[in-house]
Amino acid sequence: MAQPLRIIVVPLLLGLGLAACASPERMPAVPDELYTQANVPGLADVRYFIDDDPTPFVEDAVQAYRREVAHHNGRTAALENNPQHKNAASAESLPPARYLAISGGGDNGAFGAGLLVGWTARGDRPEFKVVTGVSTGALTAPFAFLGPDYDDELREVYTTISADDVLRRRPFLEIIFGDSAADNGPLWDTVARYADEEMMQRIAEEHDKGRLLLIATTNLDAQRPIVWNIGKIAKSGHPDALTLFRSVLVASAAIPGAFPPVMIDVEADGQPYQEMHVDGGAITQVFIYPPSLNIEEIAEEYRVADTREREIYLIRNARLDPEWADIERSIFTIAGRAISSLIQTQGVGDLYRIYLAAERDEIDYNLAHIPASFDAEREEEFDTVYMNKLFDVGYAMALEGYPWEKYPPGYNPDDGE
């Protein structure tokens, strides 16, 4: 979750002067030269080092396409053999490939949740072939992936929880000698309440149909992004699969300095190590696939005859216009404002990056974000009243027919005509 900034700044600044103090212990980090060899024991190949060699990601995407074709052909054949379904689609046709990417934004995730639930109420919300999530978007993504059946849970998460369901503020001395300003034990409990065995089973079933649920975290040791294939984790049948699923969700929302990092045990070259994972938003606010991948070239290389329409839907859980504020002349407010500005700018850059890849790959681009007209104030982070107002805004806009934007902010190729 890209915020709350007020509990990020203090530990960052204290750390500059207290670096020599004792800190929580950990196992050795994976050496840099073994970074791409590290795997979770018993759960190899469930994640991608997408900034290194994208081949495993590509191969899994191709396999997902083949599972989708097999599922579609089997379902279509069953319909064609049923006399009550004389107009069944042909086995060769596939529905449009729709991708949904949900960004970070802390309690602003209520906007995306409201938009999705309102989209269902309107009656034309599609099923997405791929759903990706970062930070608060990671918490939303499993609900969005499983569709309208989970709308009640999605609404509940973003309209009834409060700060007490997400964090527990630590005493001053614990902040000084610890790894974060707050304890996220309540968030672990909240995640465990919803991310249960039944959800895992449902995700595994959708994985079998060729759909993908991808969550991004940041490996802080390596300063590199990790993308986790949640469907492969769910399908693995490993006894620790549910624990890893929950760990990835919490890690993706672990704001550095505000919440503790999630330590994930791995093996590399036969030796045990431990990785430190934090908020995926430390690397990117929203993602679909690496822009280095060219869909047309991949289709030719792997002999994939997939010429259907493609659409990208981006939900940016933030306003995109600058938000003026009268900044107090103090170190904490200045640093907090600077971090907020950095996150804002990074998020806009991500939207442009995705747009350029979509243009190259001939994918229809659709962007949603919190409108500039929304100016409600929050009493605290994860203020339930604030989140309900924001949920209602997203819901109402979707119910009326969301005005998806076709270009990233500040850009319109028609302006020069």
Q: Quick one: pLDDT at residue 76?
A: 55
Question: Whole-model pTM?
Answer: 0.89
Residue-level pLDDT at 283: 92
Task: Kindly state the percentage of the chain with pLDDT values over 70.
Answer: 89
Is 41 within 8 Å of 265 (Cβ atoms)? yes
Percent of the chain residues past pLDDT 90, beyond the cut: 65
DSSP assignment, residue 128? P
> What pLDDT shows up at residue 77?
54
The closest alpha carbon to 187, from 162, 152, 170, belongs to: 162
What's the mean pLDDT when you consider all of the chain?
Answer: 88
Strand stretches in 170-303, DSSP E: 182-183, 212-219, 224-229, 262-268, 271-279
Between 328 and 114, residue with greater pLDDT: 114
Pure H helices in 253-361: 295-301, 331-360
Residue 90 binned pLDDT confidence (cut-offs 50, 70, 90): very low
The tens digit of pLDDT for each residue in 19-76 reads 445 567 889 999 999 999 999 999 989 999 988 888 999 999 999 999 999 998 886 5
- pLDDT band of residue 337 (cuts 50, 70, 90) is confident
Lowest mean per-residue pLDDT among 89-98, 155-164, 279-288: 89-98
C-alpha 343 chain-centroid distance:
15
What are the beta bridge partners of residue 405? 367
Q: Are strands 310-319 and 364-370 parallel, antiparallel or unpaired?
A: parallel
Phi and psi at 187, nearest 5°, equal -65, -40
Q: Is the pLDDT of residue 88 over 80?
A: no
Q: Are 106 and 5 in contact (CB under 8 A)?
A: no
**In sequence order, what are the beta bridge partners of 330?**
none
Q: Confidence band (pLDDT; 50, 70, 90) for 393?
A: very high
> CA 365 from chain center: how many Å?
18
pLDDT band at 398 (very low <50, low <70, confident <90, very high): very high
Summarised one tens digit per residue, pLDDT across range 369-388 is 999 999 999 988 899 999 99
Strand partners, 101: 132, 314
- Rounded to whole angstroms, how far apart are CA atoms 50 and 40? 17
Candidates 138, 156, 144, 154; CA nearest to 255 is 138
Judge residue 209's burial from the number of C-beta atoms within 10 Å of its C-beta, 0-12 exposed, 13-18 middle, 19 or more buried. middle
Helix (H, G, I), strand (E, B) or coil at 407: coil
Q: What is the pLDDT of residue 135?
A: 95
Q: Which residue has the higher pLDDT, 296 or 1?
A: 296
Which carries the bigger pLDDT value, residue 331 or residue 42? 42
Closest Cα to residue 222, out of 283, 180, 290? Answer: 283
Pull the structure tokens for residue 381.
């982070």
Residue 17: what pLDDT?
A: 47
Closest by CA to 378, choosing from 388, 366, 368, is: 388
Residues in the chain: 417
Q: Which pLDDT score is estimated for 74?
A: 82
Distances (CA, A) of 128 to 26, 115, 384: 39, 15, 29
pLDDT at residue 8 greater than cutoff 80: no
The string of pLDDT tens digits covering residues 341-360 is 888 888 889 999 999 999 99
Q: Cα–Cα distance between 392 and 215 in angstroms, integer?
A: 26
Residue type, 171: P
- Determine contact, residues 391/113, Cβ cutoff 8 Å: yes
Q: What's the rounded mean pLDDT across residues 286-299?
A: 87
pLDDT of residue 19: 46
